[in-house]
Copies of this chain bind each other. A is one copy, B any other.
Amino acid sequence: MTDHFDVLAIGNAIVDVLASADDDFLTSQAIEKGCMRLISAEEATALYAAMPPGREISGGSAANTTAGIAALGGRAAFIGRVSDDQLGRVFAHDIRASGVDYRTPAASGGRPTGQCLIIVTPDAQRTMNTYLGSCQELDEMDVDEALVKAAAITYFEGYLWDPPAPIRAIRKASAIARAAGRKVAMTLSDVFCVEGHRADFLHLLESGQVDLLFANENEAKSLFRTDDVAVAVDGLAALAPLAVVTRSGKGAVVVSGSERAAVPVTPAARVLDTTGAGDLFAAGFLTGYTQGRMLKDCAIMGTIAAAEVIEHYGARPEADLVARVQARLG
């Protein structure tokens, strides 16, 4: 069977609109810097009208991760809902042209394709304002049982935890994967998601439904309501067989039982736009993991992929990631 995948990802199908602006713009719009927030269609229209000129580049956290996996030589598939409109065609084109298997049918007649209005400040920080649009219409019917069984890892994003239908889609995929002896991976996505769905996320972990968890330091601390990263790391170790905590400029820590392996960041040639750094870290780690590499090398692959994506605008890789990994790890 040729349809074997290293990773099947389920996430929001989003086109990013990236604009450069200074901190004063965020203040004038009463937007907290560095976060992700959900906005309504009306809020999106008003914010877009106030924004500087943009660049439209396909995004979506888990979708970016699959584009990264494909760029690293892995086999990836994606499930997520666009609308049958121009931006939906942009999303579908770009993810397929990245080498990712993408077959979710576009919705018609409903909300437009989801967009993330991203303000990139001079310090390269990204502040995200997401209008989910048709992403909310993803449902169980879009989860193809054969596709889940064909993937070594099914990976989903915490960002999906808002409307009920996508959550049902994840539960279905997760159940199929576990029944088939496949691994399930998850990212907590954002402090905003953890704060809104802490009980759900903890239940998923406590009931052993997640084999591999990705979180950044702030998300991990929020999950356990602690300011102490060591407490958060120990908390994750107790709830997931394998967890990876990313720490921005301080690198990442791999957590497995009582073992801890820390890796530093891979320096970027320049830091222009940090959008997608976490998504590409997950891409590197997951690709290394499905290649059977040592956990520390998986994390190094994550830092290599993250370093590339922050060197340019947009959350998907542009440079030759395979060459960068080979130069570092062979």
Q: Are B49 and A93 in contact (CB under 8 A)?
A: yes
Q: How long is the Cα–Cα vector from A56 to B94 in the complex, in angstroms?
A: 11
Q: Is the interface of A mostly helix, strand, loop or mixed?
A: mixed
Q: Are B87 and A53 in contact (CB under 8 A)?
A: no
Q: Are B53 and A93 in contact (CB under 8 A)?
A: yes
Q: Is A327 in the interface zone, CB < 8 Å from B?
A: no
Q: Could you say which residues of chain B place their CB within 8 Å of the CB of A58?
A: 53
Q: Could you say which residues of chain B place their CB within 8 Å of the CB of A86?
A: 85-87, 112
Q: How long is the Cα–Cα vector from A48 to B112 in the complex, in angstroms?
A: 21
Give the residue name and chain of the B residue nearest to A113 (CB). B86
Q: How long is the Cα–Cα vector from A52 to B58 in the complex, in angstroms?
A: 12
1/0 per residue A160-174: CB within 8 Å of B?
000000000000000
Q: List A residues 84-138 near B (Cβ within 8 Å).
A: 85-87, 90, 93-95, 97-98, 112
Q: Could you say which residues of chain B place their CB within 8 Å of the CB of A93?
A: 48-49, 51, 53-54
Min C-beta distance of A236 to chain B, whole Å: 34
CB-contact partner of A97 in B53, B87, B90, B112, under 8 A: B53
Q: Could you say which residues of chain B place their CB within 8 Å of the CB of A56?
A: 55-57, 90
Q: Is A67 in the interface zone, CB < 8 Å from B?
A: yes
Q: How long is the Cα–Cα vector from A95 to B54 in the complex, in angstroms?
A: 10
Q: How long is the Cα–Cα vector from A318 to B140 in the complex, in angstroms?
A: 43
Q: Is A20 in the interface zone, CB < 8 Å from B?
A: yes
CB-contact partner of A90 in B49, B54, B94, under 8 A: B54
Give the residue name and chain of the B residue nearest to A51 (CB). B97
Q: Is A74 in the interface zone, CB < 8 Å from B?
A: no
Q: List A residues 14-68 near B (Cβ within 8 Å).
A: 19-20, 48-49, 51-58, 67
Q: Are A53 and B112 in contact (CB under 8 A)?
A: no
Q: How long is the Cα–Cα vector from A58 to B53 in the complex, in angstroms?
A: 8
Q: How long is the Cα–Cα vector from A48 to B316 in the complex, in angstroms?
A: 18
Q: Could you say which residues of chain B place their CB within 8 Å of the CB of A57?
A: 55-56
Q: How long is the Cα–Cα vector from A316 to B52 in the complex, in angstroms?
A: 12
Min C-beta distance of A287 to chain B, whole Å: 18
Q: Are B53 and A20 in contact (CB under 8 A)?
A: no
Q: How long is the Cα–Cα vector from A258 to B6 in the complex, in angstroms?
A: 69
| A positions within 8 Å CB-CB of B | 19-20, 48-49, 51-58, 67, 85-87, 90, 93-95, 97-98, 112, 313-314, 316, 318
11 pairs from A and B in contact (CB 8 Å cutoff): A19-B97, A20-B318, A49-B93, A51-B93, A53-B67, A53-B93, A53-B95, A55-B55, A55-B313, A85-B85, A86-B87
